[in-house]
Amino acid sequence: MTSKDDKTNNKLSVDDILLQLQERAKELNCLYKVDEALSRPGSDLEQICNEIIAAIPPGWQYPEVCVAKIDISGQVFTSQNFKETEWVQTAEISTSGITLGQISVYYTEEMPE
């Protein structure tokens, strides 16, 4: 059984909720831009990758210290001022079970978890 004080302590403030909604909106905007880049007929690999690289940092929580890299089929595409650091998220790029490369998103400095 929970007390009234427990329920009050577990409630998020309006500011917290707004911040969470803003973060979700940034993430969705990033996904829409990636989808647009991948769906545009006639685009070449370089154009697609550069659009994705541009879309990623604004979608992360700390865009001012976020950079991205796509390594696909032997070609590498990076954000401006790119540098590898220890703060990275990486995912494989694959199709039909074949790995073609990877995408990596880095923070250029340590951020809170």
Beta bridge partners, 91, equal: 103
Token pair of 31 as six digits: 């996904």
Look at 10 and 37; give whichever has higher pLDDT: 37
Q: Are 62 and 56 in contact (CB under 8 A)?
A: no
Walk across the sheet containing 75-78 and list its strands: 75-78, 66-72, 98-107, 87-95
The 10s digit of each residue's pLDDT in 73-90 is: 999 999 999 999 999 999
Instruction: Report the interhelical angle of 45-59 vs 14-39 (nearest 10°).
Output: 180
Please state, in angstroms and as integers, the Cα–Cα distance from residue 71 to each residue in 5, 39, 89, following that order.
52, 20, 14
User: Any idea what the Cα angle at residue 60 is, between residues 21 and 12, rounded to 5°?
Assistant: 30
pTM score, whole prediction: 0.83
The whole-angstrom separation of Cα 44 and Cα 37 is 10
Token pair of 55 as six digits: 């879309």
In the prediction, which pLDDT does 9 show?
A: 56
Token pair of 18 as six digits: 């707004």
The 10s digit of each residue's pLDDT in 22-44 is: 999 999 999 999 999 999 999 99
